[in-house]
Amino acid sequence: MIIVMEAQATPAHIQQVSSKLEEKGFQVHLSQGVERTIIGAIGQKTTTTMELFETLPGVEKVVPIAQPFKMASREFKPDSSLIEVGGQMIGNGQVQIIAGPCAVEGRSKFLEVAHAVKESGATMLRGGAFKPRTSPYAFQGLEHEGLEILAEARQITGLPVVTEIMDPRLVNEVADYVDILQVGARNMQNFFLLRELGKIQRPILLKRGPSATIEEWIMAAEYIISSGNEQVIMCERGIRSFENYTRNTLDLSAVPLIKQLTHLPIIVDPSHGTGKWKLVEPMALAAIGAGADGVMVEVHQNPSEALSDGPQSLTPENFARLVTRVNKMVMALRATEN
């Protein structure tokens, strides 16, 4: 790290910082500038170490040099990670299309939509058994019964299944029923949950928190990986900005950035990312243009009767059109890479 001293810092201030750095095991390089002194510190720093130096007298700021994430970084592992899910690969250039309703609302309804999306070309199923809702008065999911319906749909359609896990006490139970465990946006920094998910060997779909920076999001992946589970799939689903025509602001720049900074695959959720079904197809195509490894979209046979997220759900007909367009675009892009 680099420690920038204030213009008025005295030699005693500089000496104190240098001594403390050496005491913590850093090598010290002093540069005397026109206006201020800069101290380069070579060694293993942690976020906490950095903060300490900010509080010493005469210090203006501390500038980190290395990225705070290690095991998730592309420097640590230059080759892109491939993650196997039910015989399919995420991250190998194929584009996954994960579809299904926001919440599992009942057995026959879920099986019906599962068949419909499979027929249109979905490669995986999604559906929520546990629903975290802003209001305590809204539908909270079928819970255990929902998991059983998901498992049945998986068996019937042959498609892998994704569902959200919220309670660290239920990690093993949920892992028994589904192929991919999803960490919802609101739980991205639920570190107890992340650590539990690091103890199982099952792919984790890690949604970006609505106010998480790219760096914080990668640090959440680092929690899971450093706890023992390397199978992390990132999922961009929109960040919170001042714009409120859309439910969130889908930050597609995150797609190429995650690919540059990490070795992890990334998929995009244009349903939550926009909150409006009329924007889902154009933003799914945009996600593919940006280089995403897949999209996850909400589909409901009758959005005006959905128990949650109706306004952002596609009908099966609109979903079929999206699949056709996405697949044509994937082929066109692949043709230009050679």
Residue list 236-295, contact with a copy of itself (CB under 8 A)? 239-246, 249-253, 255-257, 260, 273-274, 277-279, 282-283, 285-291
Minimum Å gap between C-beta 212 and a copy of itself is 9
For a copy of itself, the binding residues in 158-187 under the rule CB under 8 A are 166-169, 186-187
Minimum Å gap between C-beta 279 and a copy of itself is 5
For a copy of itself, the binding residues in 298-327 under the rule CB under 8 A are 303-311, 313, 324-325
Closest to a copy of itself by CB, 147 or 166: 166
46 Cβ contact list (under 8 Å, min separation 6): none
Minimum Å gap between C-beta 129 and a copy of itself is 14
Does the footprint of a copy of itself cover residue 13 (CB under 8 A)?
Answer: no
Closest to a copy of itself by CB, 86 or 310: 310
Helix residue ranges per DSSP H, 254-310: 254-261, 270-274, 277-290
DSSP for residue 184: P
Binding segment (CB under 8 A) for a copy of itself, from list 2-10, 88-96, 107-115, 119-127:
2-10
For a copy of itself, the binding residues in 79-98 under the rule CB under 8 A are none
For a copy of itself, the binding residues in 28-87 under the rule CB under 8 A are 29, 31-36, 38, 40, 42-44, 46-48, 51-56, 63, 65-66, 68, 75
What is d(CA 166, CA 174) in angstroms, rounded to the nearest whole number? Answer: 10
Longest dimension (CA), the chain: 76
For a copy of itself, the binding residues in 116-155 under the rule CB under 8 A are 132-139
Q: Give yes or no for a contact between 96 and 90, defined as CB atoms under 8 angstroms apart.
A: yes
* Side-chain half-sphere exposure of 283, counting CA atoms within 13 A: 29
Closest to a copy of itself by CB, 52 or 84: 52
Closest to a copy of itself by CB, 78 or 87: 78
Does the footprint of a copy of itself cover residue 106 (CB under 8 A)?
Answer: no
For a copy of itself, the binding residues in 185-214 under the rule CB under 8 A are 186-187, 189-192, 195, 209-211, 213-214
Tokens found for residue 277: 């079904």
Angle in degrees, CA 155, 159, 161, rounded to 5: 90
Instruction: Taking each helix axis as running N to C, give the angle between helix 214-226 and helix 254-261, from 0 to 180 degrees, rounded to the nearest 10.
Output: 50
Closest to a copy of itself by CB, 20 or 86: 20
Residue whose tokens read 């924007």: 279
What is d(CA 299, CA 209) in angstroms, rounded to the nearest whole number? Answer: 22
Alpha-carbon distance values, 229 to 164, 194, 226 (Å): 17, 10, 7
Closest to a copy of itself by CB, 102 or 159: 102
Which SS3 state, helix, strand or coil, does residue 176 take?
helix
* Side-chain half-sphere exposure of 140, counting CA atoms within 13 A: 7
Count, residues near a copy of itself per rule CB under 8 A? 112
Exposed (0-12), middle (13-18) or buried (19+): which is 51, by Cβ within 10 Å?
A: exposed
Select from 80, 88, 94, 226 the one that contacts a copy of itself (CB under 8 A): 226
